[in-house]
Chains A and B, each alone.
Chain A
Amino acid sequence: DTGVSQDPRHKITKRGQNVTFRCDPISEHNRLYWYRQTLGQGPEFLTYFQNEAQLEKSRLLSDRFSAERPKGSFSTLEIQRTEQGDSAMYLCASSLAGGETQYFGPGTRLLVL
């Protein structure tokens, strides 16, 4: 499968714990995006990388959230000290620089108890 993959697909954690999600983009794509989607809403932009550089972060991304893309390939999104309000689907997408189509992964569904 050459699409965007995300791991894990589901995560249940207790409030206050840290969680980390991984995204593997389509191999030739140099742009990578993280979005968050809550029930009944559209995805909301969190952050964006071009190669290894993180070029923009949404105000939604509090200081408990950190994203990395160290080698310009896969990316990780870490949430520290999780809160119940962090419960959502975390979506990763990738695209080619100069291309507009973003291809989404299956998402990681997070439930914070």
Chain B
Amino acid sequence: GQQVMQIPQYQHVQEGEDFTTYCNSSTTLSNIQWYKQRPGGHPVFLIQLVKSGEVKKQKRLTFQFGEAKKNSSLHITATQTTDVGTYFCAGATGFQKLVFGTGTRLLVSP
């Protein structure tokens, strides 16, 4: 079945440093979505990418969808302590069933 992998599993940065998580799907996706989950919380939608090679920005966050629509990345510039949480990519196919990645847990030290 379809698998979505993320690297790294965990990253600890100092506040102000940049952070990147990478997402790879075993199959071509119709779109990819990114979610953030705070400790003890539920996934919160961040963004959706649909087009091959698409790049979207949300303030300090930059999201990219690969040309082959099988990989994606999330880059955070100048991390803040409020960025702490686990970032999941989720690949969508067909009727929008989401296959979530393994997640990258981000810890930011002040």
Contact = CB atoms under 8 A, between A and B. Distances in A.
A65 interface: no
Given A41-B103, A100-B31, A100-B92, A48 B97 contact: yes
Interface in B57-93: 88, 90, 92
B44 to A, nearest CB: 7
Contacts of A48: 95, 97
Contact of B101 (A31, A42, A50): A42
Nearest to A102: B98
Interface residues of A, number: 23
The interface size bin for chain B is: 20 to 34
B102 interface: yes
B43 interface: yes
Given A35-B98, A43-B100, A102-B98, 10 more contacts: A33-B97, A33-B98, A35-B100, A42-B4, A42-B90, A101-B33, A102-B33, A104-B42, A104-B43, A106-B41
Interface of A: 31, 33, 35, 40-45, 48, 50, 55-56, 91, 95, 100-107
